[in-house]
Amino acid sequence: MDELIFERLTLISARQNSRFKNWNRLNTAQGVKKQGLLIIEGLRACLTAIEYQAKIEAILFTDDSMGEYIFTKTKDWIIQQKFSFNQIFRLAPDLFASVADAQNPQGIIFIIKKPDLQGLANWLSRKATNNQAKGKQIKLALFDQLADPGNVGTMIRTAHAFNFSGIILSEGTVDPFNPKLMRSTMGSLFALDLISLNSYVELANLAKQYQLQLLISDLNGEPLSGFKLDKAAAGFILVIGNEAHGTNEALKQIADHYLTIPMPGNAESLNAAIAFGILAYHLNQSH
Protein backbone atom coordinates (compact mmCIF):
# COMPACT_ATOMS: atom_id res chain seq x y z
CA MET A 1 0.00 0.00 0.00
CA ASP A 2 1.19 3.54 -0.79
CA GLU A 3 1.45 5.95 2.10
CA LEU A 4 -1.89 5.94 3.89
CA ILE A 5 -3.15 9.52 4.17
CA PHE A 6 -6.71 10.55 5.02
CA GLU A 7 -7.01 12.92 2.06
CA ARG A 8 -6.02 10.14 -0.34
CA LEU A 9 -8.90 7.88 0.64
CA THR A 10 -11.64 7.65 -1.98
CA LEU A 11 -14.33 10.22 -1.23
CA ILE A 12 -17.96 9.28 -1.85
CA SER A 13 -20.28 12.28 -1.89
CA ALA A 14 -23.07 11.34 -4.31
CA ARG A 15 -26.18 9.47 -3.21
CA GLN A 16 -26.27 7.71 -6.58
CA ASN A 17 -22.95 5.99 -5.86
CA SER A 18 -23.53 2.22 -6.03
CA ARG A 19 -21.37 1.46 -2.99
CA PHE A 20 -23.25 3.99 -0.89
CA LYS A 21 -26.61 2.59 -1.97
CA ASN A 22 -25.58 -0.96 -1.08
CA TRP A 23 -24.25 0.10 2.34
CA ASN A 24 -27.38 2.14 3.04
CA ARG A 25 -29.55 -0.92 2.32
CA LEU A 26 -27.83 -2.71 5.22
CA ASN A 27 -30.09 -0.72 7.55
CA THR A 28 -32.91 -3.05 6.48
CA ALA A 29 -33.39 -6.74 7.25
CA GLN A 30 -33.82 -7.43 3.54
CA GLY A 31 -30.52 -5.71 2.73
CA VAL A 32 -28.66 -7.69 5.39
CA LYS A 33 -30.15 -10.96 4.17
CA LYS A 34 -29.36 -10.26 0.51
CA GLN A 35 -25.79 -9.02 0.98
CA GLY A 36 -24.76 -11.08 4.01
CA LEU A 37 -23.13 -7.98 5.50
CA LEU A 38 -23.63 -5.88 8.63
CA ILE A 39 -22.94 -2.32 9.75
CA ILE A 40 -20.91 -1.65 12.90
CA GLU A 41 -20.83 2.03 13.89
CA GLY A 42 -18.71 3.84 16.47
CA LEU A 43 -15.14 3.38 17.66
CA ARG A 44 -15.94 1.27 20.73
CA ALA A 45 -18.11 -1.19 18.79
CA CYS A 46 -15.53 -1.37 15.99
CA LEU A 47 -12.72 -2.07 18.46
CA THR A 48 -14.77 -4.91 19.96
CA ALA A 49 -15.33 -6.32 16.47
CA ILE A 50 -11.56 -6.16 15.90
CA GLU A 51 -10.84 -7.88 19.22
CA TYR A 52 -13.10 -10.80 18.32
CA GLN A 53 -11.83 -11.04 14.74
CA ALA A 54 -14.92 -10.04 12.82
CA LYS A 55 -14.41 -10.30 9.05
CA ILE A 56 -14.18 -6.70 7.85
CA GLU A 57 -15.07 -5.97 4.23
CA ALA A 58 -14.82 -2.16 4.24
CA ILE A 59 -13.94 0.73 6.56
CA LEU A 60 -15.80 4.04 6.26
CA PHE A 61 -14.80 7.37 7.80
CA THR A 62 -16.85 10.54 7.85
CA ASP A 63 -15.16 13.27 5.81
CA ASP A 64 -14.70 15.75 8.64
CA SER A 65 -12.41 16.42 11.60
CA MET A 66 -13.91 13.59 13.68
CA GLY A 67 -13.37 11.07 10.91
CA GLU A 68 -9.81 12.25 10.39
CA TYR A 69 -9.09 12.00 14.13
CA ILE A 70 -10.39 8.42 14.31
CA PHE A 71 -8.44 7.60 11.15
CA THR A 72 -5.20 8.65 12.89
CA LYS A 73 -6.12 6.42 15.85
CA THR A 74 -6.71 3.37 13.65
CA LYS A 75 -4.15 3.98 10.88
CA ASP A 76 -1.43 1.69 12.27
CA TRP A 77 -3.90 -1.16 12.68
CA ILE A 78 -5.22 -0.65 9.14
CA ILE A 79 -1.67 -0.86 7.77
CA GLN A 80 -0.91 -3.91 9.90
CA GLN A 81 -4.01 -5.70 8.59
CA LYS A 82 -3.01 -4.90 4.99
CA PHE A 83 -6.31 -3.43 3.86
CA SER A 84 -6.26 -2.13 0.31
CA PHE A 85 -7.28 1.37 -0.75
CA ASN A 86 -10.46 0.01 -2.34
CA GLN A 87 -11.61 -1.14 1.13
CA ILE A 88 -11.23 2.24 2.89
CA PHE A 89 -13.42 5.25 2.12
CA ARG A 90 -14.36 8.75 3.17
CA LEU A 91 -18.07 9.56 3.09
CA ALA A 92 -19.59 13.02 2.97
CA PRO A 93 -21.10 13.69 6.43
CA ASP A 94 -24.72 13.48 5.23
CA LEU A 95 -24.07 10.14 3.50
CA PHE A 96 -22.19 8.82 6.51
CA ALA A 97 -25.07 9.75 8.82
CA SER A 98 -27.48 7.92 6.51
CA VAL A 99 -25.44 4.71 6.58
CA ALA A 100 -24.82 4.99 10.33
CA ASP A 101 -28.57 5.48 10.91
CA ALA A 102 -27.74 7.43 14.05
CA GLN A 103 -28.52 10.97 15.24
CA ASN A 104 -24.92 11.53 16.35
CA PRO A 105 -22.60 9.37 14.22
CA GLN A 106 -19.21 8.60 15.72
CA GLY A 107 -17.00 8.90 12.66
CA ILE A 108 -16.22 5.28 11.77
CA ILE A 109 -18.18 2.37 10.31
CA PHE A 110 -17.13 -1.20 9.61
CA ILE A 111 -18.92 -3.23 6.96
CA ILE A 112 -18.47 -6.83 8.08
CA LYS A 113 -19.54 -10.30 7.07
CA LYS A 114 -22.55 -11.60 8.96
CA PRO A 115 -21.46 -14.44 11.29
CA ASP A 116 -23.20 -17.80 11.04
CA LEU A 117 -25.43 -19.22 13.76
CA GLN A 118 -24.17 -22.52 15.14
CA GLY A 119 -26.24 -25.59 15.94
CA LEU A 120 -26.49 -26.37 19.66
CA ALA A 121 -25.33 -29.99 19.31
CA ASN A 122 -22.21 -29.05 17.35
CA TRP A 123 -21.42 -26.15 19.66
CA LEU A 124 -21.64 -28.30 22.79
CA SER A 125 -19.57 -31.14 21.33
CA ARG A 126 -16.71 -28.67 20.79
CA LYS A 127 -17.09 -26.44 23.81
CA ALA A 128 -17.80 -29.01 26.51
CA THR A 129 -14.54 -30.89 25.97
CA ASN A 130 -12.56 -27.67 25.86
CA ASN A 131 -14.17 -26.25 29.01
CA GLN A 132 -13.75 -29.49 30.96
CA ALA A 133 -10.05 -29.51 30.13
CA LYS A 134 -9.77 -25.97 31.51
CA GLY A 135 -12.01 -26.62 34.52
CA LYS A 136 -14.50 -23.99 33.33
CA GLN A 137 -18.27 -24.04 33.52
CA ILE A 138 -20.48 -23.64 30.48
CA LYS A 139 -22.61 -20.52 30.82
CA LEU A 140 -25.35 -20.08 28.24
CA ALA A 141 -28.41 -17.87 27.94
CA LEU A 142 -31.53 -18.96 26.07
CA PHE A 143 -33.73 -16.18 24.72
CA ASP A 144 -37.14 -17.76 24.21
CA GLN A 145 -39.34 -15.86 21.74
CA LEU A 146 -38.08 -12.45 22.85
CA ALA A 147 -39.45 -9.78 20.53
CA ASP A 148 -37.91 -6.45 21.52
CA PRO A 149 -34.58 -5.76 19.75
CA GLY A 150 -33.52 -3.17 22.33
CA ASN A 151 -34.06 -5.65 25.18
CA VAL A 152 -32.21 -8.46 23.41
CA GLY A 153 -29.32 -6.18 22.48
CA THR A 154 -28.97 -5.05 26.09
CA MET A 155 -29.07 -8.66 27.28
CA ILE A 156 -26.35 -9.70 24.82
CA ARG A 157 -24.17 -6.88 26.14
CA THR A 158 -24.91 -8.03 29.71
CA ALA A 159 -24.05 -11.64 28.83
CA HIS A 160 -20.71 -10.44 27.47
CA ALA A 161 -20.06 -8.47 30.67
CA PHE A 162 -20.67 -11.56 32.82
CA ASN A 163 -18.59 -13.92 30.69
CA PHE A 164 -21.30 -16.05 29.11
CA SER A 165 -20.06 -18.33 26.34
CA GLY A 166 -22.98 -18.00 23.98
CA ILE A 167 -26.60 -17.11 23.32
CA ILE A 168 -29.19 -19.69 22.25
CA LEU A 169 -31.98 -18.23 20.14
CA SER A 170 -35.31 -20.04 19.94
CA GLU A 171 -37.61 -19.80 16.95
CA GLY A 172 -39.64 -16.61 17.23
CA THR A 173 -36.87 -14.56 18.86
CA VAL A 174 -35.97 -11.31 17.12
CA ASP A 175 -33.27 -11.52 14.45
CA PRO A 176 -29.89 -10.99 16.20
CA PHE A 177 -28.76 -8.94 13.19
CA ASN A 178 -31.62 -6.45 13.47
CA PRO A 179 -29.94 -3.00 13.12
CA LYS A 180 -31.48 -1.61 16.35
CA LEU A 181 -30.43 -4.74 18.25
CA MET A 182 -26.88 -4.54 16.93
CA ARG A 183 -26.49 -0.89 17.93
CA SER A 184 -27.59 -1.64 21.48
CA THR A 185 -24.98 -4.42 21.87
CA MET A 186 -22.08 -1.96 21.36
CA GLY A 187 -20.13 -4.69 19.56
CA SER A 188 -20.74 -7.41 22.17
CA LEU A 189 -22.56 -9.46 19.53
CA PHE A 190 -19.16 -10.52 18.20
CA ALA A 191 -17.82 -11.62 21.58
CA LEU A 192 -20.43 -14.37 21.98
CA ASP A 193 -21.33 -17.43 19.95
CA LEU A 194 -24.84 -17.27 18.51
CA ILE A 195 -26.56 -20.66 18.65
CA SER A 196 -29.76 -21.85 16.99
CA LEU A 197 -32.23 -24.21 18.66
CA ASN A 198 -34.06 -26.88 16.68
CA SER A 199 -36.53 -27.92 19.37
CA TYR A 200 -37.13 -28.05 23.10
CA VAL A 201 -36.71 -31.83 22.92
CA GLU A 202 -33.21 -31.33 21.54
CA LEU A 203 -32.50 -28.86 24.34
CA ALA A 204 -33.66 -31.29 27.04
CA ASN A 205 -31.60 -34.16 25.64
CA LEU A 206 -28.43 -32.10 25.22
CA ALA A 207 -28.74 -30.46 28.64
CA LYS A 208 -28.97 -33.91 30.21
CA GLN A 209 -26.10 -35.30 28.11
CA TYR A 210 -23.75 -32.45 29.03
CA GLN A 211 -24.97 -32.04 32.63
CA LEU A 212 -26.25 -28.52 32.14
CA GLN A 213 -28.97 -27.23 34.42
CA LEU A 214 -31.90 -25.35 32.91
CA LEU A 215 -32.73 -22.28 35.01
CA ILE A 216 -35.95 -20.35 34.47
CA SER A 217 -36.99 -17.06 36.02
CA ASP A 218 -40.43 -17.46 37.60
CA LEU A 219 -42.47 -15.45 40.10
CA ASN A 220 -43.16 -18.60 42.15
CA GLY A 221 -39.67 -20.09 42.15
CA GLU A 222 -36.98 -20.45 44.80
CA PRO A 223 -35.31 -17.22 45.99
CA LEU A 224 -32.33 -16.31 43.84
CA SER A 225 -30.29 -15.22 46.86
CA GLY A 226 -29.99 -18.76 48.21
CA PHE A 227 -29.62 -20.64 44.94
CA LYS A 228 -26.66 -22.92 44.23
CA LEU A 229 -26.07 -25.09 41.19
CA ASP A 230 -26.00 -28.82 41.80
CA LYS A 231 -22.42 -29.93 42.45
CA ALA A 232 -22.47 -32.36 39.53
CA ALA A 233 -23.53 -29.69 37.04
CA ALA A 234 -21.06 -28.75 34.30
CA GLY A 235 -22.79 -25.42 33.85
CA PHE A 236 -26.18 -23.88 33.21
CA ILE A 237 -28.56 -22.50 30.62
CA LEU A 238 -30.41 -19.41 31.86
CA VAL A 239 -33.78 -19.03 30.13
CA ILE A 240 -35.50 -15.69 29.63
CA GLY A 241 -39.02 -15.90 28.23
CA ASN A 242 -41.16 -13.65 26.08
CA GLU A 243 -41.69 -10.13 27.47
CA ALA A 244 -45.50 -10.38 27.46
CA HIS A 245 -46.26 -14.08 27.90
CA GLY A 246 -43.29 -15.41 29.86
CA THR A 247 -41.52 -18.69 29.32
CA ASN A 248 -43.03 -21.34 27.06
CA GLU A 249 -44.80 -24.13 28.97
CA ALA A 250 -42.75 -26.77 27.15
CA LEU A 251 -39.59 -25.21 28.59
CA LYS A 252 -41.06 -25.08 32.08
CA GLN A 253 -41.68 -28.82 31.91
CA ILE A 254 -37.96 -29.57 31.43
CA ALA A 255 -36.50 -26.94 33.78
CA ASP A 256 -34.28 -27.98 36.69
CA HIS A 257 -34.85 -24.87 38.79
CA TYR A 258 -37.30 -21.97 38.90
CA LEU A 259 -35.66 -18.81 40.26
CA THR A 260 -37.42 -15.81 41.77
CA ILE A 261 -35.90 -12.35 42.16
CA PRO A 262 -37.24 -11.02 45.49
CA MET A 263 -39.00 -7.66 45.00
CA PRO A 264 -39.95 -5.80 48.20
CA GLY A 265 -41.89 -3.20 46.20
CA ASN A 266 -45.29 -3.53 44.56
CA ALA A 267 -44.26 -3.70 40.89
CA GLU A 268 -45.83 -6.68 39.15
CA SER A 269 -42.65 -7.69 37.32
CA LEU A 270 -39.30 -6.53 35.99
CA ASN A 271 -38.29 -5.67 32.45
CA ALA A 272 -36.75 -8.76 30.81
CA ALA A 273 -33.35 -7.12 30.33
CA ILE A 274 -33.25 -5.92 33.96
CA ALA A 275 -34.22 -9.37 35.24
CA PHE A 276 -31.55 -10.99 33.09
CA GLY A 277 -28.93 -8.59 34.44
CA ILE A 278 -29.78 -9.41 38.07
CA LEU A 279 -29.80 -13.16 37.39
CA ALA A 280 -26.54 -13.02 35.43
CA TYR A 281 -24.83 -11.02 38.18
CA HIS A 282 -25.89 -13.42 40.92
CA LEU A 283 -24.94 -16.53 38.96
CA ASN A 284 -21.57 -15.00 38.16
CA GLN A 285 -20.93 -14.16 41.82
CA SER A 286 -22.01 -17.52 43.20
CA HIS A 287 -20.50 -19.79 40.54
Separation CA 243–CA 246 (nearest Å): 6
Instruction: Kindly calculate the radius of gyration of the chain based on its CA atoms and give it in whole angstroms.
Output: 21
What confidence tens digit (pLDDT) does each residue in 87-131 have?
999 999 999 999 997 778 889 999 999 998 999 999 999 887 776
Q: Would you state the CATH architecture of domain 118-286? A: 3-Layer(aba) Sandwich (3.40)
Answer yes or no: is pLDDT of 260 > 70: yes
Q: Say if residues 122 and 195 touch (Cβ distance below 8 Å).
A: no
pLDDT of residue 135: 59
Q: Would you call 172 helix, strand, or coil by DSSP?
A: coil
What confidence tens digit (pLDDT) does each residue in 207-256 have?
999 999 999 988 788 889 888 888 889 999 999 988 888 888 889 999 99
Q: Average pLDDT in the 190-195 region? A: 93
**Which class is domain 6-113?**
alpha beta
What confidence tens digit (pLDDT) does each residue in 31-70 have?
999 999 999 999 988 988 999 889 999 999 999 999 999 9
> Which pLDDT band, with edges at 50, 70 and 90, does 2 fall under?
low
Answer yes or no: is pLDDT of 263 > 60: yes
Separation CA 166–CA 116 (nearest Å): 13
pLDDT of residue 131: 66
pLDDT of residue 58: 97
pTM of the complete model = 0.87
- Domain locations along the chain: 6-113, 118-286
Please tell me what DSSP assigns to residue 242.
B
Nearest by Cα to 147 from 116, 175, 118, 166: 175
> Which pLDDT band, with edges at 50, 70 and 90, does 11 fall under?
very high
- What number of other Cβ atoms are within 10 A of residue 160's Cβ? 20
